[in-house]
Structure 1
Amino acid sequence: MDYLLLTQRLGQQIRARRLNRGLTQARLADIAGLTRQKVIAVEKGSISVGMTAYARVLGALGCELSVVPASMPTLEEVQGVFE
């Protein structure tokens, strides 16, 4: 599975969790000790963001990372890789 797709999925899951908790990006950044721009990059699944930033955001959301077998990408995800 393409690493860009994996980080994109992680960012989408983080964004969904943030919204589910009723947090703004600015508030999440405050809790995680990051800038709002860094939270935006995490939610986009940016590969230029270090693992520490992802870990801080996950910790601030009360989540942890777990390794599971990857599912097949959706058509939308595959199309996004080529854009």
Structure 2
Amino acid sequence: MDYSLLITRLGIQLREKRINRGLTQAQLAELAGLTRYKVIAVEKGTLSVGMIAYARVLAALDCELSVVPATMPTLEELGDLFE
């Protein structure tokens, strides 16, 4: 599986968790000790974002990362890879 798709999925899941918690990106950034721009990059799955930023966001959301077998990409995800 393509690593960029995995990072994109992680960003989407973190965004959904933030929204479910009723937090803005600015509020999450403050909780995580990051800038709002870094939170945006995490949620977009920007490849240059370091693991520490993901760890800070996860901790701020009271979440942890679990390693599970990857699922096949959806047609929408495949289309996004070619944009």
- Residue equivalent to 2:66: 66
- How far off is 1:14 after superposition? 0.1
Cα deviation for residue 30 of structure 1 reads: 0.1
1:38 corresponding residue in structure 2: 38
Aligned partner letter, 1:48: S
Structure 2 equivalent of residue 50 of structure 1: 50
Unaligned 5+ segments in structure 1 are none
Runs of 4 or more consecutive aligned structure 1 residues displaced over 3 Å after TM superposition? none
For each residue in 1:42-62, what CA deviation from the matched residue of structure 2 results, as whole angstroms up to 9, or x when unmatched?
000111000000000000000
Are residue 26 (structure 1) and residue 33 (structure 2) matched?
no
Q: Does residue 80 of structure 1 match 2:44? A: no
TM-score by length of 1: 0.99
Runs of 5+ consecutive residues of structure 2 not aligned to the other structure? none
Q: For residues 42 and 65 of structure 1, what CA distance do their matches in structure 2 show?
A: 14
Secondary structure of residue in 2 paired with 1:13 = helix
Q: CA RMSD in A?
A: 0.3
Aligned length, in residue pairs: 83
**Distance in structure 1 (CA, Å) of the matches to 2:57 and 2:17:** 10
